[in-house]
C-alpha cells in the first residue's frame, strides 16, 4: 500500500500549516523586501500519432499507458495535491503548488491534461485564478511558444505563428492575456524579441549566460551611465532589466534572469531539494544585504524536477510555500506581479543567439557541437536532419503559396488563426473559421483542400519540435516523431498538389548517420519506423470491422480521430467461424473528408483473421456480395469463404497485426481469457492436492519446488481476483469477499507467497474511492443510508490491512485527498464519528485538517503546539 510519506525535513515540524500571506503583507512598499519566485517549465513533447491524433501505448512507460500518463502520476498531479506531514507521518495539509509557483505548461501538454487528467487540469486553472486574486491580477501562469521550436532557427513567419498559437491557447484555457512567454530552451535572438514585442508580451525569462552588457537606465542626473560587461554570467539576477529594440527606445521587452547556480543545482544536484530548510538556506545565499528597496530571488528549472526527475520533491517546495519562506520574511510572488511593483531600473543588451542548454548558441539543434552527447556517440546527424527539414519546409511554402490562395483570402493570416480549429475540432468551429477565411463558398472538395493545406502547415511546424535534436540519437522516439510529422506533411502536400516530395526528402536524410546499429542512417530510419506508421482509410475500416466481431458498436462510434457511421451490419457465426459484413462511412474529424467503405471480417478462431475492404459501389453489388459470402459460410469451409472474399473484393486485405496496437492488444487479451481461466482452474487443483506438501516445505525452511510454487501463486491469485470482483456486487458478496481476502492473506503468509495482481489493485483503489465518495456524499442513495457507516469504515480498514499484509502497492492518495478536503472545507459538520475513523485509517490528522477551515482555530492550535514544544 502507498500513501505519500514524509522524508527528512519534508515533514511539518510545527502544528499548524502557514496560511497564505494577507494581501497587505504582499503589497507592502517603501521598505526593503525580499521576494522569491520558483518557476517551473512543465513540458512534454507531442507524442500523438499524426494520423490518429492520439498517443498509442508506449511500453517503455509501463505500467502506465504512455509517458504523459506516467509523468502526470509522478509529477503533474502530485504538485496539485502536494502533501505536508507531521512527524508521525499523518497528513496535515495539501498544497496546490501551482498556486504559489510561477509556471508555464506547454500547450500540447495542456491539451492532453484537459482530456486525460481533468482534475489536475482544473486545479492548474484554479491556481492561476487564485494567484491572480492574491497578486493584484497577476496570475502565476505564463504562455509558451506553441510546440517548443527553437525560435532563432525558425523563419520570421513561423516565429509569429508559434507566438500567436501559444498566446491563443493560453487565452482559451486561462481566460486572460499572458504577460510573459517561455521560449523553448530559452532560445532567443533579435528577431524573436521583435516578434514578442509586436505581439504585446511584456517579459521573458532567460539564463544569466544569455546577456552581454547591462547598465542603470539613463536619468537626468546620469544621462549616459557606463555599460557593464556581464558576458560570463555575472549579471545580478535579483532585478528585472529592460531590453530596448529601437534608437528612440519606444519598443522594449523586459527580461528576468534566473539565478543560474541555484537553478542548476535544482536540476542536477540531489542535495539542494533534500528538505525545505536546505533549499531555503541555499536561496538565502543569493539575498543582497544592501539598501535596494526590493529584490527578487528567482530560480527556474524543468517542472518535472518536482516529482518525476526527483521523487517527492513537490513536498519540499510545498512546505517552503506554506511556511519556510514566510518564516524568513520572504514574499512569494511571480514575475508579472513583481514587475508591476518594481519596474526595471536597469537595461541590458542580449547576446546575439543563445539558449540555456547549449554553450554554442543554438548549435545543439543544428550541428555536432558536443552538447547532449553521451556514451561516445556522435551527433553529426543533427545538421543533415535540420537541413532536410528546412528544405522540406521551404518546398511546402511553395506549395502553400501556390494552392492556398485559390481557397483562402489571406493564407498566412488563415494559418495564424487556424489555432482556433486546432483547439476546437467541432464542425461548428470549422465552418465559422472557413466563413471568415475562405474565398466565396467552397464545395466539399475545395473545402477539404483548404483544410489539408492548413494541416500541412501545422505538421510543418510540429516537425521542428526541439526534442528531435536534443538527445544523442536520431532514432530515439523524439527524432522518429518529428519525422512522422514530416511524413504527414509530405502526404498532405501530395494530396493537394500531386507533387511527391518524399523521395528527395528521404535521399537527403541518408546523410544523417545514426549511432543505433538497427538503422544505418536517417533514410533507413524513415523506411523502418516512419513509413510503417502511416495509416490508410482501409486500415481504419479494418480496425472497425475486426473489432466489431467483439464489440457491439452503436450507430456512430469514434475510432481515434475518425467518426464511424454504421450504415449496415450483419454478423453470422457457424461453428468456430464468425463473419461480419457491413458498410461504414468514415469521416475525419480533422479534414472532414469521408469515405464510404464496405468490409468483410472473418474470424477463423484463435488469432487468425482475414479482413477485406473496398469502396462502396452500389446497393445491388453490395447485396449480392453479402448473400454470396454468407452462403459460403454455411458450407463451413474456411477455404471456400476466403476464396469468395478474394474473388468479390478487389481492395486491401488485413489481418490482426494490421490493427492499431491498442485494439490488437485488447483482442489478444479477450481471446486468451478462456484459456487463462482453464489454466487457473488446473493450477488451483494442483495447489489443493499438494497444499500440505507445500506447507511442509515452508515449515522446514526448504525451498518449495518451482512447479508447486507457481501453482500456489496462480491459485491464490485466481481466488484473490474473484474476491476483489465480488466487492462491488452486493452487500452479502462484499462481506464474504472481505472474509475471503483475509483468508487468502493468511494463507499467502503461511506459505510465503507474493501475489502479482496489478488489475486487482486498480480495482481495489476504485472500490475504496467509490465507497468514500458515498460515505462523504451529502445525499446518499437509499440503499446506502441503511448501512452502518462505521462498520463500512471498519471494512475499508480491513481491506487496507489485507493489502499491507500482502505487500500490494495500492495508491490511496485520491481517497486521502477526498477525506482531507471534506474536512478542510467543513462539508461534514460532525467529525467525531465515522469520518474521524475514516481519517485515521487514511493517516490524516483530523484536528489540523479540520482547523484549516477556521482561521482562529488554526492560530490557536499553532500557539498551543508551540507552547507544548
- Using one digit for the tens of pLDDT, what is the confidence trace for 664-697? 888 898 889 888 889 999 999 999 999 999 989 9
Q: Where are the beta strands (DSSP E) in 321-451?
A: 331-332, 346-350
pLDDT for residue 566: 96
Q: What are the grid coordinates assigned to 660, written together?
A: 492499431
Residue 623: C-alpha distances to residues 522, 568, 619, 645 (Å): 48, 11, 6, 14
Determine whether 375 is exposed, middle or buried from the number of CB atoms within 10 Å of its CB (0-12, 13-18, 19+): exposed
Q: What are the grid coordinates assigned to 115, written together?
A: 482530456
- Lowest pLDDT segment from 516-520, 593-597, 683-687, 828-832: 828-832
d(CA 624, CA 820): 65
Query: What are residue 675's phi and psi, to 5 degrees?
Result: -60, -45
**Residue 810 and residue 1 in contact, taking contact as beta carbons nearer than 8 Å:** yes
| Strand-pair category, 33-42 with 102-105 | parallel
State the chain's mean pLDDT as an integer: 90
Q: Which helix (H) or strand (E) holds 471?
A: none
pLDDT tens-digit map of 486-503: 999 999 999 999 999 999
pLDDT for residue 729: 87
pLDDT for residue 868: 34
Q: State the Cα torsion 474-477-479-483 to the nearest 10°.
A: 130
Q: What letters, b where the CB count within 10 A reaches 16 and e where it falls short, cover 425-436?
A: eeeeebeebbee
Residue 476 contacts by C-beta under 8 Å, 6 or more apart in sequence? Answer: none
* Mean pLDDT on 157-162: 98
Cα-only R_g, the chain? 31
Q: How confident is the model at residue 782 (pLDDT cuts 50, 70, 90)?
A: low
The yes-or-no verdict on residue 859 having pLDDT over 60 is no
pLDDT for residue 28: 40
The DSSP letter of residue 611 is: E
The yes-or-no verdict on residue 534 having pLDDT over 80 is yes
* Mean pLDDT on 642-655: 92
The DSSP letter of residue 533 is: G
Residue 554: C-alpha distances to residues 105, 122, 566 (Å): 37, 31, 8
pLDDT for residue 19: 39
The yes-or-no verdict on residue 339 having pLDDT over 90 is yes
**Residue 451 and residue 478 in contact, taking contact as beta carbons nearer than 8 Å:** no
Q: How confident is the model at residue 778 (pLDDT cuts 50, 70, 90)?
A: low
The yes-or-no verdict on residue 345 having pLDDT over 50 is yes
The yes-or-no verdict on residue 736 having pLDDT over 70 is yes
pLDDT tens-digit map of 440-453: 999 999 999 999 99
How would you classify residue 356: left for phi > 0, otherwise alpha for psi between -120 and 50, otherwise beta? alpha
The yes-or-no verdict on residue 322 having pLDDT over 50 is yes
d(CA 140, CA 333): 8
Q: How confident is the model at residue 719 (pLDDT cuts 50, 70, 90)?
A: very high
Q: How is 832-849 classified by DSSP, letter by letter? A: SSHHHHHHHHTTB-HHHH
The yes-or-no verdict on residue 817 having pLDDT over 80 is yes
pLDDT for residue 43: 97
The tally of CA atoms less than 13 A away on the side-chain side of residue 741 is 30
* Mean pLDDT on 455-467: 98
The yes-or-no verdict on residue 98 having pLDDT over 90 is yes
Sequence-ordered alpha helix ranges (H) in 520-660: 522-525, 537-548, 619-634, 638-648
Show the 3-state SS of 671-730: HHHHHHHHHHHHHHHHHHHCHHHHHHHHHCCCCCCHHHHHHHHHHHHHHHHHHHHHCCCC
The yes-or-no verdict on residue 481 having pLDDT over 80 is yes
Residue 702 contacts by C-beta under 8 Å, 6 or more apart in sequence? Answer: none
Neighbours of 368 (CB within 10 A): 14
The DSSP letter of residue 528 is: I
| Strand-pair category, 143-144 with 181-182 | parallel
Q: Looking at beta carbons, which pairs linking 609-612 to residues 24 or more positions away fall under 8 Å?
A: 609/546, 609/654, 609/655, 609/656, 610/642, 610/645, 610/653, 610/655, 611/542, 611/545, 611/546, 611/653, 611/654, 611/655, 611/658, 612/645, 612/646, 612/648, 612/649, 612/651, 612/652, 612/653, 612/654
Q: How confident is the model at residue 786 (pLDDT cuts 50, 70, 90)?
A: low
Determine whether 701 is exposed, middle or buried from the number of CB atoms within 10 Å of its CB (0-12, 13-18, 19+): exposed
Angle at 74 between CA 72 and CA 77, to 5 degrees: 50
* Mean pLDDT on 254-280: 95
- Lowest pLDDT segment from 68-77, 645-654, 778-787, 816-825: 778-787
The yes-or-no verdict on residue 595 having pLDDT over 60 is yes
d(CA 244, CA 49): 42
Q: How is 34-81 classified by DSSP, letter by letter? A: EEEEEEEEE------BTTTTBPPP-GGGTTSSSHHHHHIIIIIHHHHT
Q: At what angle do helices 156-174 and 444-462 cross, to 10 degrees?
A: 100
pLDDT for residue 862: 35
pLDDT for residue 860: 33
CA 632 to chain CA centroid, nearest Å: 49
d(CA 518, CA 563): 37
The yes-or-no verdict on residue 419 having pLDDT over 70 is yes
Q: What are the grid coordinates assigned to 262, written together?
A: 541555484
pLDDT tens-digit map of 394-417: 999 999 999 999 999 999 999 999
The yes-or-no verdict on residue 300 having pLDDT over 50 is yes
pLDDT for residue 399: 98
Residue 529 contacts by C-beta under 8 Å, 6 or more apart in sequence? Answer: 475, 480, 483, 519
pLDDT tens-digit map of 105-141: 999 999 999 999 999 999 999 999 999 999 999 999 9
Q: How confident is the model at residue 663 (pLDDT cuts 50, 70, 90)?
A: confident
The yes-or-no verdict on residue 153 having pLDDT over 50 is yes
The yes-or-no verdict on residue 49 having pLDDT over 70 is yes
Angle at 102 between CA 100 and CA 106, to 5 degrees: 125
Q: How confident is the model at residue 356 (pLDDT cuts 50, 70, 90)?
A: very high
Show the 3-state SS of 79-128: HHCEEEECCCCCEEEEECHHHCCEEEECHHHHHHHHHHCHHHHHHHHHHH
Q: How confident is the model at residue 864 (pLDDT cuts 50, 70, 90)?
A: very low
pLDDT for residue 246: 86
pLDDT for residue 846: 86
Show the 3-state SS of 393-427: HHHHHHHHHHHHHHCECCHHHHHHHCHHHHHCCCH
pLDDT tens-digit map of 601-624: 999 988 999 999 999 999 999 999
* Mean pLDDT on 648-672: 89
| Strand-pair category, 203-206 with 252-257 | parallel
3-state secondary structure of 458: helix
d(CA 529, CA 48): 15
Q: How confident is the model at residue 10 (pLDDT cuts 50, 70, 90)?
A: very low
- Percentage of the chain modeled with pLDDT above 70: 92
Q: How confident is the model at residue 424 (pLDDT cuts 50, 70, 90)?
A: very high
Amino acid at each position: 500500500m502507498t500513501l505519500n510519506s514524509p522524508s527528512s525535513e519534508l515533514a511539518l515540524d510545527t502544528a499548524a500549516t502557514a496560511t497564505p500571506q494577507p494581501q497587505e503583507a504582499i503589497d507592502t512598499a517603501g521598505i526593503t523586501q525580499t521576494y522569491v519566485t520558483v518557476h517551473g517549465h512543465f513540458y512534454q513533447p507531442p507524442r500523438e500519432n499524426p494520423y490518429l491524433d492520439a498517443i498509442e501505448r508506449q511500453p517503455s512507460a509501463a505500467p502506465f499507458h504512455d509517458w504523459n500518463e506516467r509523468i502526470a502520476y509522478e509529477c503533474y498531479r502530485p504538485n496539485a495535491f502536494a502533501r505536508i506531514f507531521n512527524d508521525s507521518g499523518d497528513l496535515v495539509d495539501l498544497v496546490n503548488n501551482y498556486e504559489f509557483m510561477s509556471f508555464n505548461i506547454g500547450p500540447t501538454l495542456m491539451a492532453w491534461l484537459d482530456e486525460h487528467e481533468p482534475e489536475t487540469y482544473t486545479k492548474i486553472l484554479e491556481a492561476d485564478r487564485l494567484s491572480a486574486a492574491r497578486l493584484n491580477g497577476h496570475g502565476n501562469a505564463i504562455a509558451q511558444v506553441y510546440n517548443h521550436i527553437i525560435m532563432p532557427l525558425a523563419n520570421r513567419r513561423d516565429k509569429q505563428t508559434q507566438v500567436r498559437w501559444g498566446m491563443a491557447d493560453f487565452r482559451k484555457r486561462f481566460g486572460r492575456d499572458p504577460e510573459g512567454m517561455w521560449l523553448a530552451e530559452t532560445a532567443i535572438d533579435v528577431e524573436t524579441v521583435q516578434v514578442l514585442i509586436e505581439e504585446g508580451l511584456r517579459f521573458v525569462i532567460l539564463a544569466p549566460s544569455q546577456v552581454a552588457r547591462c547598465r542603470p537606465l539613463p536619468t537626468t542626473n546620469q544621462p549616459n551611465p557606463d555599460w557593464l560587461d556581464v558576458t560570463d554570467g555575472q549579471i545580478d539576477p535579483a532585478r528585472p532589466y529592460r531590453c530596448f529594440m529601437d534608437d528612440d527606445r519606444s519598443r522594449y521587452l523586459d527580461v528576468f534572469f534566473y539565478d543560474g547556480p541555484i537553478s542548476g543545482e535544482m536540476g542536477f544536484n540531489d542535495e539542494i531539494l533534500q528538505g525545505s530548510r536546505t533549499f531555503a538556506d541555499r536561496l538565502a545565499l543569493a539575498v543582497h544585504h544592501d539598501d535596494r528597496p526590493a529584490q527578487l530571488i528567482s530560480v527556474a528549472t524543468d517542472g518535472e524536477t518536482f516529482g518525476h526527475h526527483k521523487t517527492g520533491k513537490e513536498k519540499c517546495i510545498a512546505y517552503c510555500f506554506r511556511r519556510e519562506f514566510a518564516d524568513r520574511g520572504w514574499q512569494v510572488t511571480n514575475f508579472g506581479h513583481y514587475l508591476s511593483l518594481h519596474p526595471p531600473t536597469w537595461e541590458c543588451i542580449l547576446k546575439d543567439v543563445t539558449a540555456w542548454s547549449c554553450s554554442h548558441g543554438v548549435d545543439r539543434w543544428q550541428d555536432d557541437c558536443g552538447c547532449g552527447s553521451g556514451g561516445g556517440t556522435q551527433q553529426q546527424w543533427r545538421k543533415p536532419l535540420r537541413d532536410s527539414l528546412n528544405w522540406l519546409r521551404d518546398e511546402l511554402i511553395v506549395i502553400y503559396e501556390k494552392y492556398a490562395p485559390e481557397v483562402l483570402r489571406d493564407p498566412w493570416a488563415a494559418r495564424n488563426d487556424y489555432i482556433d480549429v486546432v483547439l476546437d475540432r467541432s464542425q461548428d468551429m470549422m465552418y465559422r473559421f472557413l466563413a471568415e477565411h475562405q474565398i466565396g463558398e467552397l464545395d466539399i472538395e475545395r473545402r477539404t483542400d483548404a483544410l489539408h493545406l492548413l494541416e500541412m502547415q501545422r505538421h510543418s511546424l510540429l516537425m521542428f519540435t526541439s526534442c528531435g535534436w536534443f538527445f544523442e540519437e536520431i532514432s530515439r522516439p523524439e527524432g522518429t516523431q518529428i519525422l512522422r510529422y514530416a511524413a504527414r506533411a509530405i502526404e498532405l502536400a501530395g494530396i493537394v498538389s500531386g507533387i511527391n516530395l518524399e523521395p528527395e526528402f528521404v535521399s537527403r536524410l541518408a546523410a544523417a548517420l545514426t549511432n543505433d546499429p538497427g538503422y544505418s542512417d536517417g533514410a533507413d530510419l524513415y523506411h523502418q519506423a516512419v513509413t510503417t506508421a502511416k495509416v490508410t482509410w482501409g486500415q481504419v475500416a479494418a480496425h472497425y470491422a475486426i473489432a466489431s466481431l467483439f464489440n457491439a458498436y452503436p450507430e456512430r462510434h469514434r475510432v481515434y480521430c475518425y467518426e464511424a457511421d454504421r450504415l449496415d451490419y450483419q454478423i453470422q457465426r457457424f461453428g468456430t467461424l464468425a463473419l461480419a459484413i457491413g458498410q461504414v462511412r468514415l469521416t475525419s474529424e480533422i479534414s472532414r473528408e469521408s469515405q464510404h467503405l464496405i468490409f468483410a471480417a472473418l474470424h477463423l478462431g484463435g488469432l487468425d483473421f482475414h479482413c477485406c475492404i473496398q469502396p462502396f459501389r452500389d446497393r445491388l453489388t453490395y447485396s449480392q456480395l453479402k448473400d454470396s459470402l454468407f452462403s459460403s459460410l454455411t458450407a463451413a469451409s474456411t477455404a471456400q469463404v476466403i476464396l469468395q472474399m478474394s474473388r468479390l473484393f478487389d481492395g486491401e486485405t488485413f489481418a490482426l497485426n494490421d490493427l492499431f496496437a491498442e485494439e490488437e492488444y485488447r483482442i489478444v487479451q479477450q481471446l486468451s481469457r478462456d484459456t487463462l481461466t482453464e489454466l487457473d482452474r488446473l493450477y488451483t487443483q494442483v495447489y489443493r492436492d499438494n497444499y500440505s506438501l507445500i506447507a511442509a516445505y515452508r515449515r522446514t525452511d526448504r525451498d518449495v519446488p518451482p512447479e508447486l510454487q507457481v501453482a500456489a501463486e496462480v491459485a491464490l491469485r485466481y481466488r484473490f481476483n474473484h474476491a476483489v470482483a465480488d466487492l462491488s456486487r452486493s452487500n452479502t458478496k462484499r462481506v464474504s469477499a472481505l472474509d475471503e481476502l483475509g483468508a487468502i492473506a493468511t494463507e499467502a503468509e503461511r506459505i510465503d507467497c507474493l501475489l502479482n495482481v496489478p488489475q486487482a489493485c486498480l480495482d481495489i483503489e476504485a472500490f475504496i474511492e467509490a465507497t468514500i465518495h458515498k460515505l462523504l456524499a451529502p445525499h446518499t442513495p437509499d440503499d446506502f443510508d441503511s448501512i452502518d457507516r462505521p462498520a463500512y469504515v471498519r471494512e475499508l480498514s480491513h481491506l487496507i490491512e489485507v493489502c499491507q499484509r500482502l505487500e500490494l502497492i495500492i495508491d490511496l492518495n485520491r481517497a486521502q485527498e477526498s477525506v482531507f478536503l471534506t474536512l478542510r472545507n467543513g462539508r461534514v459538520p460532525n467529525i467525531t464519528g465515522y469520518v474521524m475513523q475514516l481519517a485515521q485509517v487514511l493517516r490524516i490528522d483530523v484536528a489540523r485538517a479540520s482547523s484549516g477551515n477556521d482561521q482562529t482555530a488554526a492560530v490557536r492550535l499553532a500557539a498551543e503546539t508551540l507552547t507544548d514544544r
